[in-house]
Every structure is written in structure tokens, then in C-alpha cells.
Amino acid sequence: MKSLAILGSTGTIGTNTLNVLSRHRDRFRVAALTANTDVEAMALQCAEWQPQYAVMADAAAAERLAAVLARTGIETEVLSGTAELVRIASLAEVDQVMAGIVGAAGLLPSLAAATAGKRVLLANKEALVMSGRLFMDAVRNSGAELLPIDSEHNAIFQCLPVDFARGLERSGVRRILLTASGGPFRDRPLSELSRVTPEQACAHPNWVMGRKISVDSATMMNKGLEVIEACWLFGTNPEKIRIVLHPQSVIHSMVEYNDGSVLSQMGNPDMRTPIAHALAWPGRIDSGVASLDPVAVGRLEFEDADVSRFPCLRLAYEAAEAGGTATAILNAANEEAVAAFLDRRLSFTDIPAVIETTLAEQSARPSASVDVILEDDAAARDRARSTIASISRGGE
């Protein structure tokens, strides 16, 4: 029986992970659950799964959770703060860590799991976007297993040869085709984008996701971050990755080989498929996902991504080429801009403007250490907030 810690258990990835685990209670045990502030959801999860530890990022939320569990007689130990998240991810008794915390907040616990030699099920793409080289070095040095959970990267992983780590060119791979639905505004007239609301941006046509990731999908920054993540996961560069819009979200990505073969991974758009794949790899287990009916799908469409419609794509490619902390700066500015948009302090089309201004004003440095990365992350957030405030005041 494998022991699992789920970082971000009340979010979309976490709840889908628990759904898969509920079908295989004889194979997996939940040792620890973590969340930010959702006490009600965490209390219900603790009641069902009886983990040894529950960690809330927010101290006040941890106090409320402890009181709830005490009243119901649940013996789960409640902890709080980043240091405890890091400790939980490194516990000797934990075999696998589902890294599902959204954004930069997931960096330190995800990196801790890699350093501790765990099987890391990586749904937090920002960990590689911010600290790719350090993260991959930690995986190699510790002997950790790194399995991607993003549907696209999991699809690529399934389509690559088992020895891809020796180099994609040596393995006969020509390029990676990273698919994207195009989000809710793929066909929206450009003149209307400045008026879209957070509710419209979060209404993804194919996937059920959190609000931040839904906005990233609408701007296509999510795909830009995935390009950076893919470069680190598969040892390649942005020139070898082509983004292809695929509205049906049935083909989750493709790998093209030198002989002209193109391998794809297909399935219904449901995060339980990549989660189940990574949990059981190299085996297979039931995920609960319905079988794909290709006749019902009917047709598969593809088109190029338009960077004039999705300027965040260009910014992500530029940051990837610049290297160092440029990708951490990109991510920090994006997180601040998306938060401001969701709070209605910024228009949808101002999101890439904030990111571009931040990248122009802050010089990137070599990613020599976690401290350097976090310093540039903090500085980028300050710059982005200043730009957002200026835009909100009408440029005064």
C-alpha cells in the first residue's frame, strides 16, 4: 500500500485525486491533506480519509479546523504554515506527493518533495516555471520520480519512448505538438475582449478548473507556462514545441518522430485520467472516466495559435528564451494581474500589458538559488502591483 500526501486537497486536482483514490482504497493510504483556507471542505475530507496530518496554509483557518475536528472526535493533527507544508512533503512515511497547490505558493513544498526523493505527481507547473534547473537537479540528485499531471504533459510523457531522458533527438523525436482548446475567447472579436468579465473568462468550454487557471486558459498564459514546463520535463527548447489549437480537447498532445510518425494520447477531457496514470505508473488503474466514443466526437479540428489574439504566448516564449529568473518574473506578474482582473481592478486585455511592463522594467538574473528566485518573484509582484494601480487610476 502506497502512502500519499496531497498538497492542495480541496482544489480541483486534490478533489479529483481523492475521487480516483476512492476506487482503490486497498492500494493507497492518505497520510496528509493540505489546503489554504477552506475549513469546511478540509473537515469533510478528514472525516472520510482520517489522515495523520492536515495542514492549512492560513493559521486562523488551522485553528478553526482543529476546533471542528476536536468536536467530532477526529484525531488528525492540524498544522499550519509553509514550513509545515515543506515538512509534510518530506515525511519518510510518504511515498507519493500530489503537488496540486496553484501558483508560486506550491514551489517550496513541491521542491521539498523532489529533494526528499518522493514520487512527485506534478500538477503545479509554476514549480518548474520558477525554478526549472534547481527542481530538475533535485530530482536527479535524490532519485525522485517526476510524473506530470497536466493533461498535456502527461500525454507527451505517454507518447515518448521510455528512454527519452537520454535526449529527444537521440530518441528520434522531431518535435512536440502541445494542444490547447483556445479557451472561451478563441473566436471572440478582438474588439470585445476588453469588456469580458471574470465570469465569462472562467467559463471554460471543456474543462472544470479553478478561477486562476481558467483565466490563464482564456489568455493562453496557461499554454505559455506549459511550454516552459515541457522544456524542463523533457529536456528540450521552445523551438521544438508547437502549440496547436484543438477545440474538442480530445487529443491532449502529440509527439512527432523523425520517421514521420505522430503519436497522440486521446481521451475525454477529465483530469482523473492523468492522475490515475501517474498514481499507478507504470501500471494502469480505473480512473472512473467514461470511455471515449470517437463516433460521438465526430470530428477533430486543429489550427494555429494567433499571438496577436493571445499576446501572453509571445511573452512566455520570450521569457523562456531569456532564461534565468525571467520566467519567475513572468509568473509573478501574471499571478498579480490575474488576481486584479478577478477582483475587477483590471481589464482582461490589461493582463498582458502588466506582464510586459514588469518584464521590461525588471532585469532577470541567473537562477542560482531558491533565495534569488523568491527575491525576484517578490520584486516582480511589487512592480506589477504598481503598474496595476497606475492603470486603475487611469495612468496618473
Question: Is 260 buried (19+), middle (13-18) or exposed (0-12) by CB count in 10 A?
Answer: exposed
Place of cell 522544456: 231
Predicted pLDDT of residue 78: 98
- What confidence score (pLDDT) does residue 393 get? 72
- pLDDT computed for residue 208 by the predictor: 65
The CA distance from 121 to 99, in Å, is 6
Helix, strand, coil abundance in the chain, percent, nearest 5: 50, 15, 35
Give me the half-sphere count of Cα atoms (radius 13 Å) on the Cβ side of residue 268.
Answer: 12
How many CA atoms within 13 Å lie on the side-chain side of 30?
27
Question: 3-state DSSP call for residue 146?
Answer: strand
CB 349 within 8 A of CB 337: no
- CATH 1.10.1740.10-classified regions of the chain: 323-392
C-alpha cell at 282: 507504470
| Site of grid cell 483565466 | 215
CATH class belonging to 323-392: mainly alpha
How much is the pTM?
A: 0.92
pLDDT for 207 equals 63
Point out the residues of the chain with pLDDT beneath 50.
395-396
Phi, psi of 189 (to 5 degrees): -55, 140
Q: What is the pLDDT of residue 396?
A: 42
Neighbour count for residue 146 (Cβ, 10 Å) = 23
CATH 3.40.50.720 residue ranges of the chain are 2-148
Q: DSSP state, 76?
A: P
From residue 313, how far is each of 144, 178, 194, 198, 276 by CA, in Å?
31, 13, 18, 20, 30
CA distance 350 to 116: 40
Cell of 175: 518535435
Q: For the domain 2-148, what is the CATH code?
A: 3.40.50.720
